[in-house]
Structure 1
Amino acid sequence: MKWYVVYTKPKWEKRAAEQLSKFNINCYCPVIKKVQQRSDRKVKVEVPLFNHYIFVQLAEKDRNLVFHSPGVVRFLFWLGRHAIVKDQEIETIKEWLNTGDTASEISVMQYQIGDKVHLNSGPFCDQNAVVKDITKTHYVLILESLGYVLKVKHK
């Protein structure tokens, strides 16, 4: 079975994954712990690693089952086909999140816009990317294999 990327309503990632799990659909919603400032205190909360996206593993004939969750909007498409994520990429995300090294940063200061880079740390270790933009505080990278845009803080 293949891993597909499902686009959800805003703030529905975890709920949609829970609902789909009740229908015996293998779902993965990667989450990270983040400190958020409330009016009177700071609290640690779990937030999805990818806003609006969850991963579902199912047979091609069962793809429409994901729409049993009201939080699911559509499948993500890449080059006119359903976006498919490799098992190894899902495992890489899981391993990275389990190490607790979510604060790692990637530095590409020596690169120019349009350069191809090889990521050697973080959740997308061993992935190739293209530098799309450089701002004062971040780099914007395109992960071609996943069809995803990554915003990385400067060191």
Structure 2
Amino acid sequence: MSIFQIGWYLIYTKARHEKKVESRLAEKQIECLLPMRKSFKKWHDRRKYVTEPLFPSYIFVYLRDIKSYYGGMDTEGVLSYVKLGKVAVMVNETVVNNVRLIADKAADVEVSKDSFQPGHRLMIRQGPLSGVDGEMVTYKNKRQLLVRVELLQRNLLVTLPEDAVLSKECFS
């Protein structure tokens, strides 16, 4: 890595190693974010709620220096950083904050690979999702908040609460 920049990056992990990698990164004092969601799973013999990553095999990490970059790479279960060419790509801090708020406070989150036309830009001003900005789209006949995570080619969809106070502002 020729020029290091402080910020959020994405680590790609071995399948089903996200929680282990998260705890190993925490031991190395590397700040990380593993957004989780609860989902209802049905097997032939039982049903239960399980907690699973929003983005399987990916963890957001905040790197403060080149030492933490290499420390993250040298963590058991880590395969690589998400890169464009040979350079690790930074994740916009607004996207990380939106993902964090949604994972912490939204009850019903859907992750989609579908392509969406640009919707009306908005920011939620009050309620549990206060501070989240994204786009309003109609999906499955519901008014949904769409947050794009373009680096992963995924979208987060959250059903907007009726009492959400929205402001339609232009974001540059």
CA distance in 1, matches of 2:99, 2:156: 16
Displacement after TM superposition at 1:105 (Å): 8.6
Q: How does 1:11-90 map to 2 (within 5 A)?
A: 11-62=16-67, 63-78=69-84, 80-90=86-96
TM-score normalised to structure 2 length:
0.63
Q: How does 1:91-106 map to 2 (within 5 A)?
A: 91-103=97-109
Displacement after TM superposition at 1:15 (Å): 1.0
CA distance in 2, matches of 1:34, 1:64: 34
Q: Say if 1:78 and 1:126 are closer, same or farther in 2 by CA, change over 3 A.
A: farther
Q: Say if 1:82 and 1:31 are closer, same or farther in 2 by CA, change over 3 A.
A: same
Match of 1:126 in 2: 134
Displacement after TM superposition at 1:64 (Å): 0.7
Q: Please, which runs of 5 or more residues in structure 1 have no aligned partner?
A: 128-142
CA distance in 1, matches of 2:151, 2:15: 20
CA distance in 2, matches of 1:105, 1:28: 17
> Secondary structure in 2 aligned to 1:54?
strand
Of all paired residues, the percent bearing the same amino acid is 21
> Secondary structure in 1 aligned to 2:150?
coil
CA RMSD across the alignment: 3.5
Asked if residue 146 in structure 1 is aligned to residue 145 in structure 2, the reply is no
C-alpha contact (below 8 Å) 2:102/2:109 kept by paired residues: no
Match of 1:135 in 2: none
TM-score normalised to structure 1 length:
0.69
Name the amino acid aligned to 1:70.
Answer: E
C-alpha contact (below 8 Å) 2:15/2:57 kept by paired residues: yes
CA distance in 2, matches of 1:152, 1:3: 18
Displacement after TM superposition at 1:34 (Å): 0.9
